[in-house]
Amino acid sequence: MTEIQVQYTTKSDAWRNSALTPKGIMVHSTATPGVSAQTFRDRWDRPGVGASVHYFVDDQDIIQCLPLNKRAGHAAGTANSTHIAFEMCEPAGLTYNAGGSAITAYDPPAGYFAAVWDNAVGLCAKLCAEYGFDPLDKKVLLCHCEGYAQGIASNHADVEHWFVKEGRNMDDFRAAVKAAMEGEGTPVPEEEEEAVTKYDTLREVPEWGQDTVKKLMEKKALQGDGEKLDLSEDMLRVFVVLDRMGLYD
């Protein structure tokens, strides 16, 4: 997970919001393709902006905009008073319909989704650990459209409208957060096992995961010295997130 940058939006109307006692986390996405976390943070740091979140997350940055004990205006519903909120920034290459409710064309930069997913998973794992949240509880860790279905948020499609383009959903996200907290890979259904990407040697590991695997091999946490690693890509991504959080230093 990328290191969190604290850049409070003290000029926004949200800085005067009332106190929050967090009971969960709500995941949003921006529906504004190609706008970074830093740009969003800067746009919202001014008077007259009522909308607010605690974090903006993209493929490179996690920026905290509000203290976690301050209410954010993100859901247009009661979730504002109960949930920490963050926005996943959508990449360039997405085209929306006229109403802005559905993605009609999808051609994002390679690697963007995996990177923003890892940052969002790492952030939620950190918050769930700090507050004792159960990441598998759909009332505790949910997205905006799930909040609407539960009657605690406005009628928005995020983030399921985006995740489906990558073959993912919020159940996958919750499972990934749980796995990150436990240091385990997300279980793969038996019928899909043959299609899972696996790495048997260090040479086969992608460059972005090599340093992490080397650390784990040095700590005898993974087999090496010619023996098969038997390391799935999902497990590798979890290990990299935990490494970025400093757990292997």
Tokens 């109403």 sit on residue: 99
Q: Rg of the chain's alpha carbons, rounded to an integer?
A: 19
Q: What tens digit of pLDDT does each residue of 190-245 get?
A: 443 344 567 778 778 888 888 888 888 887 777 655 557 777 887 778 787 777 77
What amino acid is encoded at 30 in this protein?
Answer: T
Q: What tens digit of pLDDT does each residue of 126-166 get?
A: 999 999 999 999 999 999 999 999 999 999 999 999 999 99
Which structural domains are found in the chain, ordered by start? 4-182 (3.40.80.10), 190-244 (no CATH)
Report the candidate in 209, 205, 195, 203 with the shortest Cα–Cα distance to residue 248: 209
Give Cα 207 to chain centroid, integer Å.
22
Report the candidate in 109, 6, 129, 7 with the shortest Cα–Cα distance to residue 59: 109
Q: What tens digit of pLDDT does each residue of 6-41 get?
A: 999 999 999 999 999 999 999 999 999 999 999 999
| Residue 100 pLDDT exceeds 80 | yes
Q: What tens digit of pLDDT does each residue of 172-195 get?
A: 999 999 999 998 544 443 443 344
Tokens 């970025």 sit on residue: 244
What amino acid is encoded at 172 in this protein?
Answer: D
Are the C-beta atoms of residues 202 and 230 closer than 8 Å to each other?
no
**Rounded Cα gap, residues 104 and 96, in angstroms:** 5
Q: Which residues contact 91 (CB under 8 A, 6 or more apart)?
A: 33, 34, 59, 108, 109, 112, 113, 116
* pLDDT for the residue numbered 188: 40
* pLDDT for the residue numbered 105: 97
* pLDDT for the residue numbered 204: 82
